[in-house]
Amino acid sequence: MTIHFTLNGKETELNVPPNKKLSHILRDDCGLRGVHPGCGKGQCGGCLVLDGKNPVYSCLIPAFMANGKNITTIEGFVQTPLFGIIERGFKRAGVILCDFCAPARVLSLGAIILQGRNPDTAEILDQIDIVKCPCIGPESLETGIQIALEEHYARERR
Amino acid sequence: MNEKRFREKLAGRIRFPEDVSSKKTLFARALRSPYPSGTIEKIELPPLPEDAFIMDYHTLPGSKTFQLPLGEMPLLTESRISYRGEPILLVGASREEELNEILAGISLTIIPEPELPPLSLDQRENVQYERHFLRGEAEKILEKEDLIQDEDFFVIESQEPSTRLSAQVSCQKEGNRYIIHSVNQWPSQLRKNAASALKIRRDQIILRNYPHDNNQESRLWYTSLTACHAALLCQLSKRPVRFLIDEEENRLLTPARGKTEIYIKGALSSEGDLLALKVDFALDVGAFGLMTQEIIDRMTLACTGVYQCRNLEITGSGIRTNRMPTGFFSDLNQAPILFAVESFTNNLIRLGGFEPYEWKIENRIRKGNLFLGESTLAKPTPLLKIMENLTTSSDFQRKHTSYQNLQDQRLSLSENRESFHRGIAMSLAYSGNDFLYNHTDLTTAAVRGVLDKEGYLQLYLPIQPGIDRTKKRWAQMAASLLSLEGPDRVSFFFDQEKMNGGPLSAGRSITHITRLIELCCENIQKKRFRDPLPIDVTKRYSRQESRWDKDKMDGVPFHSLSWGGCVVEVEIDQESYELKMRNIWFVLEAGLILDEPSSRVTVERGLYLALENSLGKDWQKRYKFPSYQVDFISTGNTPQGLGGLVQSLFPPALACAINQASERKGYTLPLEEGLLTEDDRQ
Ligand code: FES
Ligand code: FES
């Protein structure tokens, strides 16, 4: 089937099997290798992308449902100023992520900022949980997110 | 980590084995056994497209086994099934959908057979390896001494977190060489096995190793087996191969530890001396019993603990079952033993009426004491410092006394007026770095240093550290040893071909490499005044067998030791029986900390695993990640592995703190639910 959607700000048209998962479309048909599907079942969060301002698991979205969406992957997000803010936050908090889940982490945090939220610790922890990482605790990530949020809102006030 | 790499990572620009693909890529998978035990009777293949490829045991071109220094297993099974998920066939096709269709069309007839009996201390069938260690006269003493206790402990099966990154593998052929893209911690082992499976020379196998994630340490052989499979199909099809691993296989290829059962009997004199300990333990080592000797001997050494005790009798066995072949858990399999031995000792000293802090200060192992088998401890330990630091930061002594008074009152009044009860406990442990078994494949490492005419130093290392800061520290160290103009005069090359190193596990790598760099530089420095530049020096590490007599368990088994202590404070709500971990303190002595942030991450990850092992798989649904503090005290100038210290330290401290708050003892890991509920266990 032919699907039309916005991908990283560009109108995109593709011919793909209707059940092909968005995660695979992004990787195979669009060459976006920053999408890292793992479980294929909405459990790990490796395939996270933004649908508008919302984080979604692209492995759960078949092609026919991707039609008409506004999708941002890490490749698109990197072009926005928010990326730098998050990078600095993570850096200052000493966040050490594996290469595999790092982009999904950035996007899930980016979603908080895009949505204009100023979450408390519990909400931040919930957001961290969107990307299931079995190898580190949430401490440094939480600090990283706090730093990024502070910088973002300080800039906004200016 | 340098800024650029950090940005690339966050931006998703780091490439992985699964990103290696071309139009000619062959998608491959293994057909695996759905049964844990049985015999293959028949395999019927569906009609295959022309460009599909199949390989089974009989068509393997070279060696049919995958070899490790301590054990082997088949690359593909011939007919006997030894565990669920055992690879039977390798299948490759041009498209993923086609591959899945072929796999679905294969009809596999397996006659299931009864599984080997499950682990139990009394079950003596299928013992892969047994170790008996005797020191003094434990048996005699345990018949007559004052305070004798015995208890059984169980630690159920647990698994490292599985991340997909570590299982990915691709293989391409370039000229007569096979390029394997994978995440692998033991390149020499991979190359050796892949070369003999493909029946080619070892230098025809090239590994493009990808940066490992936080979980690589325990994946001793797992990725190598898959890499051999990918290379075999690449050779057969003459096409690049992407080996696909689904979530279930990924779990299968993630190190898991089998169940452990431990029985301990001990005697404490009225003066508080730990007179004798008898420990019997058995570990489920899974199919093929890989690395069993190393694991069981390490566990036996762990039984000897950190307290003085002259009389010991330890029997440890590794029992084969139909569980997947075991790996080398990141706590080096010490955690189950330390949980049992520390919990037991804490219970014993409490029954004897001794204050734990003072008892531990008094009875801690010191220089000159018998330690690790028959040897005497040659160097002072940092245990005293660890305990002092711990008690200062956690206020352990005061809290323990006050919680103990409250507990005693509760017990005597048999009435409960408080809305919550608190408990606090301390545990101590050590961890041996490097492997016990002196097999060259396990223990070698080499570093080459070349100082050129312009005063630049090139260092050739066998591994690439995951953390850039480690490299920076190495550069600083080398520059200062050779009085170079600055650390930017030092450059690193990673040459797995020549600097063949052993695996990363057992906290060995960074320790050895740091030491080898140091030796190289010292040697260059000496030669510098005699010889013309360039000076080229290679230093190898291989342990001298003579230092450790493995039969008698005598001598110096480990290259170095790391030490640690932990205090856990808990609170149990008397209405809901909800457990709250109020705080956790760690003090760790792991030599020179090259990079503190990454050491903290190692600790955090260890704690994460320890929480899972102590509270069960779904602990996060019930508990928040607790707050914790870590203090690194460094005595040496060489880094030593943090190993699984945190995983070993946390469970007994938690169990004993709960014991003080609830009067109930934890005998199993994860701690049984009943520990915190109203139904009485004791
Ligand atoms: S691949 Fe989508 S959540 Fe795991
Ligand atoms: S899975 Fe990436 S840091 Fe844990």
Q: Do domains B15-114+161-253 and B440-542 have the same CATH topology?
A: no
- Write down which residue in A55, A77, A99 finishes a domain: A77
Q: What is the pLDDT of residue B290?
A: 87
Q: Over the range B350-379, which residues count as b (16 or more CB within 10 Å of their CB) and which as e? A: bebebbbbebbeebbbeeebbbbbebebee
Enclosing H/E stretch for B534? none
Q: What is the CATH number of the domain that holds A118?
A: 1.10.150.120
A 10 A CB-CB count for A9 gives: 12
State yes or no: cis peptide before A18, omega within 30 of 0. Answer: no
Strand blocks (E) in B476-624: 490-494, 535-541, 548-549, 554-555, 560-573, 579-589
Among residues of chain B, what percentage have pLDDT more than 70?
A: 90
Distance, CA B246 to ligand 1 centroid (Å)? Answer: 12
- A40 and A94 part of one domain: no
pLDDT tens by residue, chain A, 158 residues? 999 999 999 999 999 988 899 999 999 899 999 998 877 788 888 899 999 999 999 999 999 999 999 999 999 999 999 999 999 999 888 787 777 889 999 999 899 999 988 888 888 888 888 888 766 667 788 889 999 999 998 988 87
- What angle do the packed helices A102-114 and A139-157 form, to 10 degrees? 40
pLDDT: is B18 or B229 the higher one?
Answer: B229
Locate B620 and state its tokens. Answer: 């996060």
Is the pLDDT assigned to residue B141 strictly greater than 70?
Answer: yes
- Per the DSSP assignment, residues forming a β-bridge with B420 are B573
Is the pLDDT assigned to residue B513 strictly greater than 70?
Answer: yes
ipTM: 0.95
Average pLDDT (B526-536) is: 90
Burial (CB count within 10 angstroms: exposed 0-12, middle 13-18, buried 19+), residue A87: buried
Compute the nearest-CA separation of B336 from chain A (Å): 20
Residues contacting B292, CB < 8 A, separation 6+: B70, B71, B128, B129, B285, B318, B326
pLDDT: is B288 or B515 the higher one?
Answer: B288
By the 8 A CB rule, do B501 and B187 touch?
yes
| Right CATH for B15-114+161-253 from 3.40.50.300, 3.90.1170.50, 3.40.50.1000, 3.20.20.70 | 3.90.1170.50
Q: Are strands B241-243 and B256-257 parallel, antiparallel or unpaired?
A: unpaired
Residues lining ligand 2, Cβ inside 6 A = A 97-98, 100-101, 133-136; B 163, 213-214
- Rounded to whole angstroms, how far apart are CA atoms B513 and A43? 38
What's phi and psi for B225, nearest 5 deg?
-65, -45
Q: What is the pLDDT of residue B675?
A: 66
Kindly write down the DSSP assignment for every residue of B646-664, as one continuous string.
HHHHHHHHHHHHHHHHHS-
Tell me which residue has tokens 């072009």: A79
Half-sphere exposure at residue B197, Cβ-oriented, CA atoms within 13 angstroms: 32
- Rounded to whole angstroms, how far apart are CA atoms B140 and B97? 68
- A143 and A94 part of one domain: yes
A 10 A CB-CB count for B340 gives: 29
Compute the nearest-CA separation of A119 from chain B (Å): 18
Average pLDDT (B128-145) is: 90
Half-sphere exposure at residue A63, Cβ-oriented, CA atoms within 13 angstroms: 18
Confidence band of B164 (pLDDT split at 50, 70, 90): low
Kindly write down the DSSP assignment for every residue of B506-521, as one continuous string.
TTTHHHHHHHHHHHHH
Half-sphere exposure at residue B179, Cβ-oriented, CA atoms within 13 angstroms: 12
Q: What is the pLDDT of residue B680?
A: 43
Q: Note down the domain range covering A129.
A: 81-157
Contacts of B19 in chain A (CB under 8 A): 33
By the 8 A CB rule, do B182 and B223 touch?
yes
Burial (CB count within 10 angstroms: exposed 0-12, middle 13-18, buried 19+), residue B109: exposed
- Rounded to whole angstroms, how far apart are CA atoms A113 and A109? 7
Tell me which residue has tokens 């610790």: A121
- Rounded to whole angstroms, how far apart are CA atoms B584 and B563? 17
By the 8 A CB rule, do B610 and B642 touch?
no
Asked if A96 and B12 come within 8 Å (Cβ–Cβ), the reply is: no
- Write down which residue in A14, A49, A77 finishes a domain: A77
Strand order in the sheet with B535-541: B490-494, B457-461, B445-451, B535-541
Is the pLDDT assigned to residue B214 strictly greater than 60?
Answer: no
Asked if B11 and A44 come within 8 Å (Cβ–Cβ), the reply is: no
Confidence band of B682 (pLDDT split at 50, 70, 90): very low
Q: What is the pLDDT of residue B587?
A: 95
Average pLDDT (B648-656) is: 94
Among residues of chain B, what percentage have pLDDT more than 90?
A: 50
Residues contacting B19, CB < 8 A, separation 6+: A33
Look at B76-80, B233-237, B299-303 and tell me which has the smallest mean pLDDT. B299-303
SS3 (DSSP) at B129: strand
- Rounded to whole angstroms, how far apart are CA atoms B189 and B13? 29
Compute the nearest-CA separation of A60 from chain B (Å): 15
Q: What is the pLDDT of residue A100?
A: 81
Q: What is the pLDDT of residue B594?
A: 67
Query: Could you report the per-residue pLDDT of B324-365, keeping only the tens digit for each?
Result: 887 777 777 889 999 999 999 999 999 999 999 999 999 999
Kindly write down the DSSP assignment for every residue of chain A, as one continuous string.
-EEEEEETTEEEEEE--TT-BHHHIIIIIT--TT----SSSSSS-TTEEEETTEEEEGGG-BHHHHTT-EEE-HHHHTTSHHHHHHHHHHHHHT----TTTHHHHHHHHHHHHHTT----HHHHHHHHTTS--SSS-SHHHHHHHHHHHHHHHHHHH-
CATH topology of domain B440-542: Aldehyde Oxidoreductase; domain 4 (3.30.365)
Q: What is the pLDDT of residue B673?
A: 65
Task: Out of B7, B162, B605, name the one closest to residue A136 (CB).
Answer: B605
A100 lines ligand 1 (CB under 6 A): no
Q: What is the CATH number of the domain that holds A38?
A: 3.10.20.30
Confidence band of B681 (pLDDT split at 50, 70, 90): very low
- Rounded to whole angstroms, how far apart are CA atoms B355 and B405? 12
- Rounded to whole angstroms, how far apart are CA atoms B219 and B183? 10
- Rounded to whole angstroms, how far apart are CA atoms B682 and B680? 6
- Rounded to whole angstroms, how far apart are CA atoms B119 and B283? 7
Q: Where are the domains of chain B?
A: 15-114+161-253, 331-435+558-681, 440-542
- Rounded to whole angstroms, how far apart are CA atoms B407 and B405? 5
Contacts of A40 in chain B (CB under 8 A): 246-247
Distance, CA B228 to ligand 1 centroid (Å)? Answer: 27
- CA-CA distances (angstroms) from residue A58 to A46, A68, B132? 9, 14, 55
Contact B214/A at CB under 8 A: yes
Asked if A134 and B161 come within 8 Å (Cβ–Cβ), the reply is: yes
Query: Could you report the per-residue pLDDT of B533-570, keeping only the tens digit for each?
Result: 899 998 887 666 567 787 888 877 777 788 999 999 99
By the 8 A CB rule, do B582 and B422 touch?
yes
Distance, CA A42 to ligand 1 centroid (Å)? Answer: 4
Q: What is the pLDDT of residue B498?
A: 64
Find the ligand nearest to A97 CA: 2
Is the pLDDT assigned to residue B199 strictly greater than 90?
Answer: yes
Confidence band of B418 (pLDDT split at 50, 70, 90): confident
State yes or no: cis peptide before A62, omega within 30 of 0. Answer: no
Q: What is the pLDDT of residue B253?
A: 79
| Overall domain count for chain A | 2
- A6 and A67 part of one domain: yes
Q: Which residue of A has its CA nearest to B16?
A: A100
SS3 (DSSP) at B133: strand
- Rounded to whole angstroms, how far apart are CA atoms B17 and B39? 34
Compute the nearest-CA separation of B406 from chain A (Å): 33
Contacts of B163 in chain A (CB under 8 A): 38, 98, 100-101, 133-135
Q: Are strands B147-155 and B668-669 parallel, antiparallel or unpaired?
A: parallel
What's phi and psi for A109, nearest 5 deg?
-75, -40
Q: What is the pLDDT of residue A157?
A: 83
Asked if A99 and B211 come within 8 Å (Cβ–Cβ), the reply is: yes
Distance of CA A19 to the CA centre of its chain: 22
- A144 and A99 part of one domain: yes
Contact B162/A at CB under 8 A: yes
- Per the DSSP assignment, residues forming a β-bridge with B474 are none
pLDDT: is A64 or B185 the higher one?
Answer: A64
Average pLDDT (B279-297) is: 92
Q: What is the pLDDT of residue B544?
A: 61
Average pLDDT (B480-490) is: 91
Q: What is the pLDDT of residue B504?
A: 64
- Write down which residue in A25, A45, A77 finishes a domain: A77
Tell me which residue has tokens 């934890």: B666
- A24 and A62 part of one domain: yes
CATH number of B331-435+558-681: 3.30.365.10
By the 8 A CB rule, do B580 and B570 touch?
yes
Contact B175/A at CB under 8 A: no
Asked if B625 and A139 come within 8 Å (Cβ–Cβ), the reply is: yes
- A151 and A95 part of one domain: yes
Is the pLDDT assigned to residue B130 strictly greater than 90?
Answer: yes
Locate B449 and state its tokens. Answer: 């240093």
Residues contacting B358, CB < 8 A, separation 6+: none
Is the pLDDT assigned to residue B237 strictly greater than 80?
Answer: yes
